[in-house]
Structure 1
Amino acid sequence: MAVIKRRRPARDVWTLRARPAFLYVMYGLLLWSVPLGLIGGVRPDVAQAIIAATQAYFNALPEPLYALFGTGYLGYTAARTWGKAKGVER
């Protein structure tokens, strides 16, 4: 029989919201493909304009911002893995 362990609630509000917020952004980007696909089926020119505008937006973001995000995300992952390996975190 599996034992379900209760997690201690996080005391820091920002830590508590960090992971769900990132996942919500990813879910939003994935779900956006559904209406964009429907728009593309009806009005391919409008869908192409939306895609071009989105690409222009992401290309306008500076490269150091992507590096900062990647470093922070990978650093968080490495710190969690190390904490779990040492037995500090569960």
Structure 2
Amino acid sequence: MGVISSAVAGGLFDIGGKLIDRLFPDPEQKAKAKRELEKLEQEGELKKLSTRMSTIMAEAESDDPWTSRARPSFMYVFYLVIISLVIVAPTLGIFYPDQMETFFNNVGEGFKAIPEELWWTFTSGYLGYGAYRTYEKRKGVTRNKP
């Protein structure tokens, strides 16, 4: 796990450096941004991020199908909810406007009932999974399971 963690931290530092090179054309601003990135790395912020990424990577590489498929399945459920609320419900609302008003009021109350921590969990899982998949694709990494 330590090797994966340090590889991810190094990768994050490299990505940060490349982003700085692209975003800051002025050499002075670029140098200042790189110093800040190095400062973050020294303070352990990149280490924390690296630890999170290594956990995501370990889950994705797990031989247990429940573990390796949990995050994508969770995202598919959210996709279904979003599609239902954005496409299906408004389409049905054309034919049943009074019922749709009640429906959307109930949905709004339901979303308000979800704790903020759960939204952050979903967001970090979604972004972590997307980042790892991007990393896998760019490195040409494939999972060869027996």
Structure 1 residue 87, shift from structure 2 partner:
3.3
Show the counterpart of 1:5. none
Of structures 1 and 2, the larger Rg is shown by 2
Residue number in structure 1 paired with 2:65: 13
The runs of at least 4 consecutive aligned structure 1 residues that moved more than 4 Å come to: none
Structure 1 vs Structure 2 CA RMSD: 2.9
Are 2:121 and 1:68 aligned? yes
Aligned equivalents of 2:96 and 2:78: distance in 1?
A: 26
Name the one with the larger helix percent.
2
Aligned-residue sequence identity (percent) comes to: 32
Number of equivalenced pairs: 80
Could you report, residue by residue, the CA deviation over 1:21-66 in whole angstroms, capped at 9, with x for unpaired residues? 633652464256435533x234322110001101110111011111
Q: Which has the higher contact order (CA 8 A, sep 6+)?
A: 2
TM-score, with structure 1 as normaliser? 0.61
Partner-residue secondary structure (3-state), 1:71: helix
Counterparts in 2 of 1:8-87, with a 5 A limit? 11-14=63-66, 15-16=68-69, 19=72, 22-23=75-76, 25-27=78-80, 29-31=82-84, 33-34=87-88, 36-38=90-92, 40-87=93-140
TM-score (norm 2): 0.42
* Structure 2 spans left out of the alignment, 5+ residues: 1-61
Q: 1:84 to 1:17 in 2, by over 3 A?
A: same
Aligned counterpart, 2:141? 88
